[in-house]
Amino acid sequence: MTQSLRAWVEALGGELIGSPDLSIQGLAPIESAQEADLCFLSHPKYAAQLASTRAACVIVAPNMREAAAARPNAPALSATWVVDKPYLTFAQVTQLWRPRVRPDAAAGIHPSAVVDAQAVVDPSAMIGPLCVVERGARIGAGTQLHARVTVGQDCVIGARCIVHSGVVVGADGFGFAPRGDGSWEKIEQLGAVRIGDDVEIGANTCIDRGALSDTVIGEGVKLDNLVQIGHNVQVGAHTAMAGCAGVAGSAKIGARCQIGGGAVVLGHLELADDVVINASTTVMRSIKHPGQYTGVFPIDDNADWEKNAVTLRQLHKLRDRIRALELALQNTQGNTK
């Protein structure tokens, strides 16, 4: 199974240095690419890899043009593909290559899926085996539900979405009023979930329905596996969240944000557009300005961590002792002057 470069360059653009008839047999990372493989150089800081790679073809940015074309370990037949955004072009190549590895998902509803008669599934959508699509739900054109996905009543998924196995869209939000005796009264969750176009949702991720209005996921949002989205949350377009991130109820996340793995956003907060939250960080206050934010205890060997952790619990006393020292020193200096 080989592929000439010609069709790819014609489809995706850029300049090819070398033969367009070169046969490509695989895609690989630059450091492990073999002599019939295509790879890419993502960043000039990895330029040294050009000296060692044996790849048949490397996708590079214009400023790497000469270095790439002259790479010493290239096979006799080789090529260099110059584009503005090598990583983006490589992503597009993976899409052209994918049908060789896995066939396109066939449109239609798998016979084992349970789709309510009052759900609306676009004929071009794919509903995988053992999915459940409840009454009033709507699945957009070209959207793929992989195996064992649940879409609850009245929830709407846009076009061209990819929903991975085990996802639950539209379970009840976590809403209870205290009865006053320690027990809880259920607040029925009367809203639904609305998911825009081109959204991808990772395996076993959960998106709860809203309490009174809808939970809303903007277009182009990417959620990794095991992410939790609480009721009434709004996620702006093209925001990406890594695995095990959690967003509590009624939080409003801006567009183009990046939320790291295991990060937690508390309820009712707002994050501006273009906010980056690093992994394992808990967002405890609204963030009004774009930027990168972190809050995670640095890892250490356990013995050192224990010493620091004990001291940390007395940190405000240390501060008081420093203040006392400053005052005492001023007095002492006054006395000695």
Q: Contact 163/146 with Cβ under 8 angstroms?
A: yes
Q: Which is nearer to its own copies, 124 or 280 (CB)?
A: 280
The catalytically annotated residue of 43, 110, 164, 231 is 231
Of residues 73, 94, 268, 288, which one binds its own copies by CB under 8 A? Answer: 94
Q: Which is nearer to its own copies, 70 or 312 (CB)?
A: 312
Closest CA to 116 of 131, 96, 99: 131
Closest CA to 151 of 198, 116, 203: 116
Of residues 19, 25, 34, 92, which one binds its own copies by CB under 8 A? Answer: 92
Of residues 72, 95, 117, 123, which one binds its own copies by CB under 8 A? Answer: 95
CA distances from 299 to 3, 289, 305, 308, 315 (A): 47, 28, 8, 11, 19
Q: Is 231 a catalytic residue?
A: yes
Q: Restricting to residues 224-243, name those near its own copies by CB under 8 A.
A: 224-226, 228, 230, 237-238, 240, 242-243
CA distances from 113 to 28, 123, 294, 306 (A): 36, 15, 42, 52
194 binds its own copies (CB under 8 A): no
Q: Which is nearer to its own copies, 21 or 297 (CB)?
A: 297
Of residues 202, 214, 217, 234, which one binds its own copies by CB under 8 A? Answer: 202
Only one of the segments 4-12, 13-21, 65-73, 293-301 lies at the binding site for its own copies (rule: CB under 8 A); that segment is: 293-301
Q: Restricting to residues 57-86, name those near its own copies by CB under 8 A.
A: 85
Q: Is 273 helix (H, G, I), strand (E, B) or coil?
A: coil
315 binds its own copies (CB under 8 A): yes
Which structure tokens are listed for 257? 């944000």
Residue 40, beta-bridge partner list: 59
Only one of the segments 15-23, 51-59, 73-81, 197-205 lies at the binding site for its own copies (rule: CB under 8 A); that segment is: 197-205
Which structure tokens are listed for 114? 């349970």
Of residues 29, 44, 62, 108, which one binds its own copies by CB under 8 A? Answer: 29
Only one of the segments 1-9, 10-18, 69-77, 305-313 lies at the binding site for its own copies (rule: CB under 8 A); that segment is: 305-313
Of residues 5, 16, 27, 82, which one binds its own copies by CB under 8 A? Answer: 27
User: CB atoms < 10 A from the CB of 248, how many?
Assistant: 19
Q: Which is nearer to its own copies, 7 or 88 (CB)?
A: 88
**Residue matched to tokens 């395996």:** 203
Beta strands in 196-281 (DSSP E): 200-201, 206-208, 215-217, 222-223, 228-229, 234-235, 240-241, 246-247, 252-253, 258-259, 264-265, 270-271, 275-277
Please state the closest distance from residue 70 (CB atom) to its own copies, in A.
25
In this structure, what are the phi and psi dihedrals at residue 145, rounded to the nearest 5 degrees?
-100, 115
Question: Per-residue string for binding with its own copies, 316-335, x by CB under 8 A?
Answer: x-xx-xx--xx-xx--xx-x
Q: How many residues bind its own copies (CB under 8 A)?
A: 132
What are the residue numbers of the active site?
231
